[in-house]
Amino acid sequence: MKLDGTQAPYDLAVITGPTATGKTALGVALAKLLDGEVVSADSMQIYRGMDVGTAKPTAEEMDGVPHHMIDAADPDENFSAAKYADMAAACVDDIRARGRFPIVVGGTGLYIDGLIRGTAYAAAPSDPALRRDIEGEYDRLGGAAFRAKLAAVDPDRAAMLHERDKKRLVRAWEVYQLTGRTITWHDEQTRLQKPRYAAYTVALDFVRRQDLYDRIDRRARAMFDRGLVEEVRRLLAGGLSPGSTAMQAIGYKEVAAYLAGDCGLDEAIDQVCRASRRYAKRQLTWLRSRPDVHWLRWEKTPDMEAARPLSTAITGIAP
């Protein structure tokens, strides 16, 4: 249908959920029904040259639907959630100005929140010297122990973050040290303000958890067949540091360890599968805390015909 993006009941739609739940395909199907364009909300698909391990959609998967916020930064760039929110908002506004409908697709909750709320990152102060001290503490304790320390005061934010997400774990602890309030509290105060966009949010999952985990394992193993090791080898050979933020993504850090001789290939594959399942669990925990989420739970496989009733729910107009 032709939908005037400036007059629709919602400013945009969000398709989110764990990895391997069919977000890309559903986003494309919905875009075709709503004359829309996709804005990616994946914190690793923004990086150029990181294609296999991020499950970046191919031209065939995009199926002619314009996609934004993919390949938006070099992998050695320090790309923040605040920067994403600014850039993605510019994409959303442009899509709407052209009379098309924005569909935000991805599983990075911090990016989605920042885009929709608009002012999520201005509320809490920062102190570069303190941050350096906290970074040193993270290095001494290790990611798992540092995340457990954060969980003792801010379990909601700790549940959203991987133990290797040093930058965001450090930032959460920095805010707590400076203000005596958690970063979750600061975000909640911001959330009381009127959001930048009215969003219809759909979260994808499976009726049976094992079906989700099986799909995650198959996807992770398929990445190795499609050349994940070669992709990581090329990035490292191009000068990307193993300690960079981009290289901490699931799949990349494990393969870097394999290439450094720290583990075997089979072990690296198993580690990627386990890390992906743990990340999916954290994503679901975060989504269940959201009162505004509309759940769509698949049986064995995703069914893209679900895009039709979704388009009606978003617009009030039957496709």
Place of tokens 């709407």: 96
pLDDT at position 121 is 52
For the chain, list residues with pLDDT below 70. 1-8, 119-124, 191, 318-319
Query: What pLDDT sits at residue 117?
Result: 85
What topology does CATH give the domain 128-190?
Answer: Histone, subunit A (1.10.20)
Write down the pLDDT at residue 122: 47
CA dihedral (289, 16, 165, 59) in degrees, to 10, reads 180
Domain locations along the chain: 12-118+195-315, 128-190
Q: Report helix, strand or coil for 203.
A: strand
| Per-residue pLDDT at 284 | 92
Q: Kindly tell me the sign of the dihedral angle through the C-alpha atoms of 157, 163, 167, 171.
A: positive
pLDDT tens string 193-217: 788 999 999 999 999 999 999 999 9
CA nearest 164: which of 252, 235, 45, 81?
A: 252
Strands 67-68 and 36-40: parallel
What span, in angstroms and rounded, lies between the C-alpha atoms of 6 and 134? 45
* 11 Cβ contact partners less than 8 Å away, ≥ 6 residues apart: 5, 92, 96, 102, 197, 198, 199
Domains 12-118+195-315 and 128-190 share a fold: no
Q: For the segment 227-276, what is each residue's pLDDT rounded down to a tens digit? A: 999 999 999 999 999 988 899 899 999 999 999 999 999 999 999 999 99
CB atoms near residue 269 (< 10 Å): 22
- What's the angle, vertex CA 76, arms to CA 224 and CA 82, rounded to 5? 105
pLDDT of residue 40: 98
Q: Output helix, strand, coil percentages for the chain, rounded to the nearest 5.
A: 55, 10, 35
Q: Which residues pair with 110 in a beta bridge?
A: none
CATH code, residues 12-118+195-315 = 3.40.50.300
Q: Where are the strands (E) in 65-165, listed by range?
A: 67-68, 101-105
For residue 227, what pLDDT is reported? 97
